[in-house]
């Protein structure tokens, strides 16, 4: 009831306020104003007469089923223990002779000398791998 009263008052006020302006002058001058007022009134009426979402009933509560926990997997087969070859990385140092050379970037002559360098190295070792169950 209240919405209908509001719509009636708005339409009456717009009719009274805009009617003298629409009739003054040539008809084509105010044609687009009348179209815009009509569209605006239709949008306003649609908004006022549409039911509000607060009136709608709340959604029913959601019930979640209990979670099913699967049983632990049973072992499928036994893999026996065995020896395997594994690479064991190590490093060692070597002292090498570096012959004399001319360093063009710095413009100096470098005398021959010994340098200690780190060399990557390693060896293969037999390692026992324990037996296990494969799932």
- Interatomic CA distance for residues 85 and 125, integer angstroms: 6
Q: pLDDT truncated to tens, each residue of the chain (135 aa)?
A: 667 768 777 877 666 566 655 455 666 667 777 778 888 888 887 878 776 666 667 788 888 888 888 777 776 888 999 999 999 999 999 999 999 999 999 999 999 999 999 999 999 999 999 998 887
In a domain, 71, yes or no: no
Residues 84 and 119 in one domain: yes
Closest C-alpha to 114, from 134, 92, 98: 98
Structural domain containing residue 47: 2-52
- Positive or negative, the CA dihedral 70, 72, 78, 81 is positive
pLDDT value of residue 92: 94
Pair of tokens at residue 119: 């060399």
pLDDT value of residue 11: 73
pLDDT value of residue 99: 96
In a domain, 57, yes or no: no
Domain count, the chain: 2
- Interatomic CA distance for residues 122 and 127, integer angstroms: 15
In a domain, 34, yes or no: yes
pLDDT value of residue 16: 59
């Amino acid at each position: 009831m209240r919405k209908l009263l509001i719509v009636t008052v708005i339409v009456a006020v717009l009719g009274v306020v805009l009617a003298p302006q629409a009739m003054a002058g040539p008809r084509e001058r105010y044609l687009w104003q009348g179209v815009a007022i009509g569209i605006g009134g239709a949008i306003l009426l649609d908004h006022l007469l549409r039911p509000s979402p607060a009136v709608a009933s709340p959604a029913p509560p959601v019930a979640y089923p209990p979670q099913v926990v699967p049983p632990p997997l049973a072992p499928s087969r036994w893999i026996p223990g065995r020896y395997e070859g594994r690479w064991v990385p190590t490093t060692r140092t070597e002292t090498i002779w570096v012959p004399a050379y001319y360093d063009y970037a710095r413009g100096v002559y470098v005398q021959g000398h010994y340098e200690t360098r780190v060399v990557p190295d390693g060896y293969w070792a037999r390692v026992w791998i324990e037996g296990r169950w494969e799932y």
